[in-house]
């Protein structure tokens, strides 16, 4: 039988990137072959995100393009997978007539069967969430990667129920993946030349695997992954401030290949906003955790996520976010305007009452402050030497390479005799707020 061509486009978080690789692995076993050319495809899948309204808008716009492709070639099928599929279910089939297939994050094993239905002229849909599915046994097919860095999913779902967030609804209950499969996948990556993995989960600190006598915590898992080879760098994301224990920081401090970069989303610097967000920690608790990071892992970079204009946020509460940012001195931040999501606790219980204009102004203040903090963070590195893992050729110049420090800062430097996957010792000679510039 002639093989069919699959084109996948991925939106949203790193977990979605891995999910697309899992989907590719499943379909490659069912007579599909990947293509990077959408016009060549028999099956177009769009792996979607629902986190903010504009993420969904972007997908709806892109669907118009796929609709046109379908008009020209009626053999093409279009599927929506991921968080938007889970959130909107049948509604997507009704609203977007070019869509043939809707599959949620826990139903990817059902894709081959659903595609048979689509081939026989029906629509295919499965949005059942699972308590067990981790795709643990599936070896993701790595797509457009640099062959140096990769993600490894260690858990799925989320039990935190932050008031603003759709994720517990779209990804279901939290569950951890069998550590044996995590270690096997990571060893494989290393043997194939990869030199960095990021262990992924919505809340990695609550990783927990029990099987008879075996009890694996996140700390133990990290030790085992770090023990695979000292030349393999290991990162992890995301940690929740309410349960980032000293014992984890202590493990990081003991292994030089566990990266000196902690991503600890704070969302707001105000205890009252945090309470409304149902984050289950205070400003003071968060500050205490930052002090612990600085004590256990001197020189670690600290990054965060911030939301501007959450329900009921006053000017004073917003100022608390700015003052916390200054106090921590974040090296990097992802910054967003609050976007009300249907069926979340906040949508059901609070009023989205910060005017759009004020949200925008507050976000701008947050971004401007972070630009200053990011620049200061880079300036502190000038004159120092860092071990840089080379990832590829710089976009701006063929004669320059780029890579990252353990602190996750991007460094650009002259090529010399280095190649992707090498470690180079680079002396930092200059910087912008986004990039370090150096010589090896």
Binding site for ligand SF4 (CB under 6 A): 12-13, 15-16, 49-51, 82-83, 166-167, 170-171
CB of residue 10 to ligand SF4, shortest distance in Å: 9
CB of residue 385 to ligand SF4, shortest distance in Å: 36
Q: Does 428 bind ligand 5AD (CB under 6 A)?
A: no
Among 124, 265, 403, 421, binds ligand 5AD (CB under 6 A): 265
Angle at 237 between CA 233 and CA 241, to 5 degrees: 125
Q: What is the DSSP string of 357-416?
A: HHHHHHHHHHHHHHHHHHHHHHHTTTT-EEEEEEEEE-SS-TTEEEEE-TT--EEEEE-T
CB of residue 7 to ligand SF4, shortest distance in Å: 19
CB of residue 109 to ligand SF4, shortest distance in Å: 19
By C-beta, is 46 or 390 nearer to ligand SF4? 46
Rounded distance, CA 90 to CA 124, Å? Answer: 10
By C-beta, is 19 or 42 nearer to ligand SF4? 19
DSSP designation for 39: G
Six token digits for residue 207 = 């990783």
**Buried (b) or exposed (e) across 309-345, using 16+ Cβ within 10 A?**
bbbebeeebbebbbebbeebebbbbebbbbbebeebb
Six token digits for residue 85 = 């599929």
By C-beta, is 300 or 354 nearer to ligand 5AD? 354
Among 4, 52, 177, 362, binds ligand 5AD (CB under 6 A): 52
Residue 164 binds which entry of ligand SF4, ligand 5AD, none, with Cβ cut-offs from 5 to 8 Å by kind?
ligand 5AD
For the chain, the distance separating the N- and C-terminal CA atoms, rounded to the nearest angstrom, is 52
CB of residue 133 to ligand SF4, shortest distance in Å: 15
Q: Does 307 bind ligand 5AD (CB under 6 A)?
A: yes
Site string for ligand 5AD, 371-400 (x = CB under 6 A): ------------------------------
Which helix H or strand E contains 283, and what residues bound it? helix 283-296
Of 138-167, binders to ligand 5AD (CB under 6 A) are 164-165
CB of residue 428 to ligand 5AD, shortest distance in Å: 30
Q: Does 7 bind ligand 5AD (CB under 6 A)?
A: no
CB of residue 362 to ligand 5AD, shortest distance in Å: 12
Q: Does 286 bind ligand 5AD (CB under 6 A)?
A: no
Residue 257: how many other CB atoms lie within 10 Å:
17
Residue matched to tokens 């600190």: 205
**Residue positions counted in the chain:** 440
By C-beta, is 265 or 421 nearer to ligand 5AD? 265
CB of residue 317 to ligand SF4, shortest distance in Å: 25
Rounded distance, CA 231 to CA 287, Å? Answer: 33
Among 47, 203, 267, 394, binds ligand 5AD (CB under 6 A): 267
Residue 124 binds which entry of ligand 5AD, ligand SF4, none, with Cβ cut-offs from 5 to 8 Å by kind?
none
Q: Does 339 bind ligand 5AD (CB under 6 A)?
A: yes
Q: What is the DSSP string of 88-139?
A: HTHHHHHH-TT--EEE-TT-GGGHHHHHHHHHTT--EEE----SS---TT--
Pairing state of beta strands 436-439 and 423-431?
antiparallel
Phi, psi of 363, deg, nearest 5:
-60, -40
Residue 428 binds which entry of ligand 5AD, ligand SF4, none, with Cβ cut-offs from 5 to 8 Å by kind?
none
Six token digits for residue 84 = 């938007």
By C-beta, is 8 or 300 nearer to ligand SF4? 8
CB of residue 86 to ligand SF4, shortest distance in Å: 8
CA distances from 185 to 188, 228, 420 (A): 5, 11, 21
Among 119, 219, 305, 365, binds ligand 5AD (CB under 6 A): 305
Rounded distance, CA 65 to CA 112, Å? Answer: 25
Applying CB under 6 A, which residues contact ligand 5AD? 51-52, 164-165, 265, 267, 305, 307, 336, 338-339, 341
């Amino acid at each position: 039988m002639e093989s069919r061509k699959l084109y996948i486009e991925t939106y949203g978080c790193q977990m979605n990137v891995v999910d697309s690789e899992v989907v590719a692995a499943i379909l490659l076993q069912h007579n599909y072959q990947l293509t990077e050319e959408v016009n060549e495809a028999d099956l177009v899948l769009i792996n979607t995100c629902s986190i903010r309204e504009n993420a969904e808008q972007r997908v709806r716009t892109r669907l118009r393009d796929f609709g046109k492709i379908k008009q020209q070639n009626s053999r093409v099928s279009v599927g929506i997978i991921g968080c938007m599929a889970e959130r909107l279910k049948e509604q997507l089939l009704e609203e977007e007539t070019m869509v043939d297939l809707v599959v949620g994050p826990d139903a990817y094993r059902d894709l081959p069967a659903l595609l048979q239905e689509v081939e026989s002229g029906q629509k295919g849909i499965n949005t059942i969430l699972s308590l067990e599915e981790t795709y643990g046994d599936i070896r993701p097919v790595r797509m457009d990667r640099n062959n140096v860095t990769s993600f490894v999913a260690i858990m799925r779902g989320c039990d935190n129920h932050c008031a603003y967030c759709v994720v517990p609804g779209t990804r279901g209950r939290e569950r951890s993946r069998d550590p044996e499969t995590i270690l096997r996948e990571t060893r494989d990556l290393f043997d194939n030349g990869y030199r960095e993995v990021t262990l992924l989960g919505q809340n990695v600190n609550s990783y927990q695997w029990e099987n008879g006598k075996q009890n694996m915590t996140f700390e133990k898992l990290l030790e085992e992954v770090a023990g695979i080879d000292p030349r393999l760098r290991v990162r992890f994301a995301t940690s929740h401030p309410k349960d980032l224990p000293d014992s984890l920081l202590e493990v990081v401090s003991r292994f030089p290949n566990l990266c000196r970069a902690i991503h600890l989303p704070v969302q707001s610097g105000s205890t009252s906003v945090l309470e409304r967000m149902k984050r289950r920690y205070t400003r003071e608790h968060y500050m205490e955790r930052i002090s612990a990071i600085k004590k256990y892992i001197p020189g670690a970079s600290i990054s965060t996520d911030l939301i501007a204009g959450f329900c009921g946020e006053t000017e004073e509460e917003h100022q608390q976010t700015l003052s916390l940012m200054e106090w921590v001195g974040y090296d990097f931040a992802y910054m967003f305007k609050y976007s009300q999501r249907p069926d979340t606790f906040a949508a059901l219980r609070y009023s989205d009452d910060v005017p759009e204009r004020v949200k925008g102004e507050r976000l701008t203040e947050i971004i401007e402050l972070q630009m200053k903090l990011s620049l200061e963070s880079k300036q502190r590195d000038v004159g120092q030497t860092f071990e840089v893992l080379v990832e590829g050729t710089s976009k701006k110049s063929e004669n320059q390479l780029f890579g990252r420090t353990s602190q996750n800062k991007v460094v650009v430097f002259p090529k010399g005799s280095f190649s992707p996957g090498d470690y180079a010792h680079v002396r930092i000679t200059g910087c912008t707020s986004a990039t370090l510039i150096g010589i090896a």
